[in-house]
Homo-oligomer: A and B are copies of this chain.
Amino acid sequence: MKKYIYTFINGSAEGSALMNHTLGGKGANLAEMTNLGIPVPPGFTISTEVCTFYMKHKKFPSGFKKQLNSAILKIEQYMNKKFGCHKNPLLFSVRSGARQSMPGMMETVLNIGLNDDTLRGLVQKTDNAQFVYDSYRRLLMMYADVVMEKSNPLYSTTNDSIREELDLLLEKLKYQYSYKRDSDLTDSQLINLCNLYQKKIKSKFKQNFPQDPYEQLWGAINAVFQSWNGKRAIDYRKIENIPDDWGTAVNVQCMVFGNMGNTSATGVAFTRNPSTGEKKFFGEWLKNAQGEDVVAGIRTPLPIIDNSKHDLKSQFPKLYKELDEIQKNLELHYKEMQDLEFTIEEGKLWLLQTRTGKRNGTAAIKIALDMYKEKLHSKKQLLAKISPSHINEILLPTINPQEINNMNPIASGLPAGPGSATGEIVFHPNTAEQLYNEGKNVILVRKETSPEDVHGMYAAKAILTSRGGMTSHAALVARGWGKCCIVGCNDIEINEKNKLFKVGNRIIKEGDWITLNGTTGHVYNGQLPLIQPQISKNKLFNNLLSISKSEAKINVRTNADSPQDAKKAYELGATGIGLCRTEHMFFDPQRIKEIRKMIIANSLEDRKKAIMKLLPFQKNDFYNILKTMNGKPVTIRLLDPPLHEFLPTTKSQIQDLANDFNISYKQLHAKIHTLHESNPMLGHRGCRLAITYPEITQMQTTAIVQAAKQLLKEGFKPHPEIMIPLVGSIGEFIQQKNLITNIINQYSLQKLNIKIGTMIELPRACLIADKIAKLADFISFGTNDLTQTTFGFSRDDIGTFMPEYISQKIIKQDPFQVLDAEGVGELIKIAIKKSKSSNKKIKLGICGEHGGDPESIKFLYNAGVHYVSCSPFRVPIAYLTLAQIA
């Protein structure tokens, strides 16, 4: 018969840490600790297989019951207690435990086995009626809530929950006696309360709280399984990409009590400091308390060791020594920082849990580096222990965690741009810019953003929008800049006219302060103190970066449009610019006028005139960027977006512009109308624009060449590369390359060997990549657009169906977040194979958003690209990923 149950009793467990899939994380570690001789309350783990069987067949597998009874018997024998015996009762805790930790997502029932009979036995045995009735009260509450209500298929969230109703009874009682704490209740009050609880349960569920301990146990196991498919758990799995068919294990363990008096205690501890990474035992404990009291914040827990007389070391020196020994052994055993739970029951130490300890970014990096130094693990393991979010955390300002603990967010949205920011809110980009110039911190709040808002977005510390998804304009721009941003925050109702937003009953006006946590999507009222990172002085970070860089097999460049961004990326390790977009450069008010003149020009001559006015600006742009990246390659993409993006949209804007240009509103409106496109993403943009308006390419190339020439004269080493966007036919590339080469030759700059390449962002370009590669020096995959055309998805329009697609699992993940290996990836593989076949020297890169996503980087690296390019703040993450896969 299949084995469904694994016991762990007194130094001997049937499982081990390797059986994570069967026993879940908690169960596997309980077994492991038991085998290590660490005191663990005896018990058994019901395997995840039982859960998946139960989910599928709505019943337990045959033979399961027999194994369960036999496990209970073994524990009874070892403990010399009996489950349900009124004289010497055995009590169980029932806890969930999946393969991967899902904190707080599933249910727990404690004190299983208590009933009107057994509690009397326990009172006799412990001589502590208050403790026993308090335990019974807790069981009644948990059981009614978890087993009788939540796992009941008729359970509805709209009624008052049993938990609320029972809480009310408790509060009433405390109010009656003017008690502040639950523990103020006397024995008889608790007895009374337990009776009231049982009556309420009966009246609500039309059935009694089950007095049969076995019925309690089965009910609790059943409830844990049910909670695997609870809404919270499903949602959590969706976010964390945990498969639904993993199922959870159930851990049934003898109860131990930290609240049996002054020789009892409970605590949580970390083998190293989870905030700083310091190699020092760290934790908190409470005397005469249960586990939940430590985290609930009602009593202030004490430090385990701070050399005061309150610390565990002073209060329980012998037990402290035992615990310290255990924690050292556990860390050495697991070769990983551990997070422990322990309970002292009447002078005996029990370990309830050990697991890999959560840590913040700084701690993660320090611990990994230290353990590498301590030879606890290899360089490869070092790298594996750092996650992108750890790096993100240390690169960005964060809200002081102490502050957050005491605050509730006023609203929540999608975490679109990382880090935190605090500032005065404004509703218009111009106001943002104005206040920014006055040196103020502002947060731009908009329903959604458009390219015309970019100056204000740039000026703002953070952006908050009420609409849009993770790939909306605001999200993309913010992520590119590594700027804090929350989008799709439906909770707030923006009234731009009156310059305020409503959230619930609260009104927040222009000038009021708010604070955003872009990593969680939370919005807080007021100005919370932020902690600013100092990257260049951060030895840990730089240490990690240099290890990552030395391990990585290919380079990481950055997507940067300004010298500031370029400088930031350089600090963060970028070896060049892989994508310097030129369109943002035109939104400057001085320039946009000339761009608009160009667009509305009626003759070639007028158009050329307007374009050439932009030359000095562009030259200056390129001069500064090339200078900043001195000696490193800078791939400049020629103008890409459709022209109408530069045009005004509102009536008054159009009128203003018409006045400026001395033409009628009607004329200008008609011109704008002719530029309207049904599907601008598939329209007159990219090199298509430059083929019909070759002056644009000529001006931009001239600006690049002039800037390079000046830098050479000044002794710098400019290294520009020119990238032609949106090529789909070889004729396009040839025409544009000729235009560019002619300008380079005109300026006699052949010796600089300026590379000319293209961005592959259309399926057709992938299919003719051999032809392109024959004539191009480099190819960079624009995976955003390639994803759009391969799927036929407009990034701006997927909001209407993508959420449904993901929740229905029609597609696994948003292909704009993680590269779609099956479709887009297949095209990239075809393109790489074709281009290498025709040009062995071709340089291949990627510069879409995916260049900063670890899963996508892995795919692209294996597909054979020579570099990835991503936004500055993603550079170290890309290096980490590349080092991890090297």
Given contacts A731-B809, A735-B808, A763-B790, 8 further A-B contacts (CB under 8 A): A681-B682, A683-B800, A688-B805, A691-B810, A729-B791, A764-B792, A767-B823, A768-B822
**Cβ contact of A763, chosen from B688, B789, B801, B804, cutoff 8 A:** B789
Whole-angstrom CA separation of A799 from B678 in the bound complex: 12
- Provide the A800-817 mask, 1 if CB < 8 A to any CB of B, else 0: 110011001111000000
Q: A683-B797, A692-B804, A797-B684 are in contact. Are A726 and B823 (CB under 8 A)?
A: no
- Name which residue of chain B comes closest to A643, CB basis: B800
A811 and B681 within 8 A (CB): no
B797 and A677 within 8 A (CB): yes
- Provide the A671-692 mask, 1 if CB < 8 A to any CB of B, else 0: 0000001111111100011011
A801 and B688 within 8 A (CB): yes
Whole-angstrom CA separation of A862 from B305 in the bound complex: 80
A788 close to chain B: CB less than 8 A: yes
A824 close to chain B: CB less than 8 A: yes
B764 and A810 within 8 A (CB): no
B732 and A792 within 8 A (CB): no
Q: Which residues of B contact A677 (CB under 8 A)?
A: 794, 796-797, 800
A785 close to chain B: CB less than 8 A: yes
A148 close to chain B: CB less than 8 A: no
5 contacts between A and B (CB under 8 A): A679-B797, A680-B794, A682-B788, A731-B811, A763-B790
Whole-angstrom CA separation of A811 from B727 in the bound complex: 12
Closest CB of chain B to A12's CB: distance in Å? 48
A762 close to chain B: CB less than 8 A: yes
Q: Which residues of B contact A757 (CB under 8 A)?
A: none
A826 close to chain B: CB less than 8 A: yes
- When A and B form their complex, which 3 residue pairs have the shortest distance between CB atoms, in order from nearest? A731-B810, A682-B794, A679-B794
Interface members, chain A 816-845 (any B CB < 8 Å): 820, 822-824, 826-827
A301 close to chain B: CB less than 8 A: no
A728 close to chain B: CB less than 8 A: yes
Closest CB of chain B to A811's CB: distance in Å? 5
A793 close to chain B: CB less than 8 A: yes
Each complex incorporates copies of this chain amounting to 2
Q: A767-B827, A827-B767 are in contact. Are A679 and B810 (CB under 8 A)?
A: no
Query: Which residues of A pack against B, CB within 8 Å?
Result: 677-684, 688-689, 691-692, 726, 728-729, 731-732, 735, 761-764, 767-768, 785, 788-794, 796-797, 800-801, 804-805, 808-811, 820, 822-824, 826-827
Q: Which residues of B contact A789 (CB under 8 A)?
A: 682, 763, 789-790, 792
Closest CB of chain B to A474's CB: distance in Å? 15
B679 and A682 within 8 A (CB): yes
Q: A678-B680, A792-B789, A810-B735 are in contact. Are A801 and B764 (CB under 8 A)?
A: no
- Name which residue of chain B comes closest to A763, CB basis: B763
**Cβ contact of A680, chosen from B679, B728, B761, B827, cutoff 8 A:** B679
Q: Which residues of B contact A689 (CB under 8 A)?
A: 801
Q: Which residues of B contact A788 (CB under 8 A)?
A: 682
Q: A691-B808, A801-B692 are in contact. Are A823 and B680 (CB under 8 A)?
A: no
Closest CB of chain B to A680's CB: distance in Å? 7
B728 and A794 within 8 A (CB): no
**Cβ contact of A801, chosen from B684, B761, B762, B794, cutoff 8 A:** B684
Of A677, A735, A797, the most chain B CB neighbours within 10 A belong to A797
B726 and A792 within 8 A (CB): yes
A762 and B790 within 8 A (CB): yes
Q: A681-B678, A735-B810 are in contact. Are A792 and B823 (CB under 8 A)?
A: no
- Name which residue of chain B comes closest to A812, CB basis: B731
A822 and B767 within 8 A (CB): yes
A801 and B678 within 8 A (CB): no
**Cβ contact of A762, chosen from B679, B684, B791, B822, cutoff 8 A:** B791
- Name which residue of chain B comes closest to A785, CB basis: B792
Closest CB of chain B to A795's CB: distance in Å? 9
Q: Which residues of B contact A681 (CB under 8 A)?
A: 678-679, 682, 792, 794
Closest CB of chain B to A109's CB: distance in Å? 38
Whole-angstrom CA separation of A482 from B222 in the bound complex: 68
- Name which residue of chain B comes closest to A797, CB basis: B683
Q: Which residues of B contact A684 (CB under 8 A)?
A: 797, 800-801
Q: Which residues of B contact A822 (CB under 8 A)?
A: 764, 767-768
Whole-angstrom CA separation of A562 from B731 in the bound complex: 42
Whole-angstrom CA separation of A683 from B677 in the bound complex: 15
B762 and A804 within 8 A (CB): no
Whole-angstrom CA separation of A726 from B805 in the bound complex: 14
- Name which residue of chain B comes closest to A800, CB basis: B684
Q: Which residues of B contact A761 (CB under 8 A)?
A: 792
Whole-angstrom CA separation of A792 from B808 in the bound complex: 29
Closest CB of chain B to A353's CB: distance in Å? 39
Whole-angstrom CA separation of A800 from B678 in the bound complex: 12
Of A680, A792, A800, the most chain B CB neighbours within 10 A belong to A792
Closest CB of chain B to A742's CB: distance in Å? 16
Closest CB of chain B to A694's CB: distance in Å? 10
- Name which residue of chain B comes closest to A677, CB basis: B797
Closest CB of chain B to A155's CB: distance in Å? 23
Of A726, A761, A805, the most chain B CB neighbours within 10 A belong to A805
Q: A767-B823, A801-B688, A810-B735 are in contact. Are A792 and B680 (CB under 8 A)?
A: no
**Cβ contact of A811, chosen from B729, B762, B801, B809, cutoff 8 A:** B729
**Cβ contact of A678, chosen from B764, B791, B797, B824, cutoff 8 A:** B797
Whole-angstrom CA separation of A728 from B762 in the bound complex: 16
- Name which residue of chain B comes closest to A689, CB basis: B801
Q: Which residues of B contact A762 (CB under 8 A)?
A: 790-792
Q: Which residues of B contact A731 (CB under 8 A)?
A: 805, 808-811
- Name which residue of chain B comes closest to A825, CB basis: B767
Q: Which residues of B contact A764 (CB under 8 A)?
A: 790-792, 820, 822-824
B811 and A678 within 8 A (CB): no
Of A692, A768, A790, the most chain B CB neighbours within 10 A belong to A790
Q: Which residues of B contact A768 (CB under 8 A)?
A: 822-823
Q: Which residues of B contact A826 (CB under 8 A)?
A: 767
Closest CB of chain B to A679's CB: distance in Å? 4
Whole-angstrom CA separation of A769 from B394 in the bound complex: 45
Q: Which residues of B contact A793 (CB under 8 A)?
A: 682, 728
Whole-angstrom CA separation of A688 from B800 in the bound complex: 9
Closest CB of chain B to A42's CB: distance in Å? 47
Closest CB of chain B to A451's CB: distance in Å? 12
Q: Which residues of B contact A805 (CB under 8 A)?
A: 688, 691, 729, 731
Whole-angstrom CA separation of A679 from B797 in the bound complex: 7
Q: Which residues of B contact A692 (CB under 8 A)?
A: 800-801, 804
Closest CB of chain B to A316's CB: distance in Å? 57
Whole-angstrom CA separation of A152 from B526 in the bound complex: 81
Closest CB of chain B to A770's CB: distance in Å? 11
Whole-angstrom CA separation of A796 from B676 in the bound complex: 11
**Cβ contact of A728, chosen from B726, B785, B792, cutoff 8 A:** B792
Closest CB of chain B to A619's CB: distance in Å? 28
Q: Which residues of B contact A811 (CB under 8 A)?
A: 729, 731
Whole-angstrom CA separation of A726 from B728 in the bound complex: 22
Q: Which residues of B contact A735 (CB under 8 A)?
A: 808, 810
Whole-angstrom CA separation of A678 from B805 in the bound complex: 20
B682 and A763 within 8 A (CB): no
Whole-angstrom CA separation of A800 from B693 in the bound complex: 11
- Name which residue of chain B comes closest to A802, CB basis: B688
Q: Which residues of B contact A796 (CB under 8 A)?
A: 677-679
Closest CB of chain B to A450's CB: distance in Å? 11
A823 and B763 within 8 A (CB): yes
Whole-angstrom CA separation of A367 from B761 in the bound complex: 52
Whole-angstrom CA separation of A594 from B684 in the bound complex: 37
- Name which residue of chain B comes closest to A796, CB basis: B678
Q: Which residues of B contact A810 (CB under 8 A)?
A: 691, 729, 731-732, 735
Whole-angstrom CA separation of A764 from B804 in the bound complex: 20
Closest CB of chain B to A713's CB: distance in Å? 37
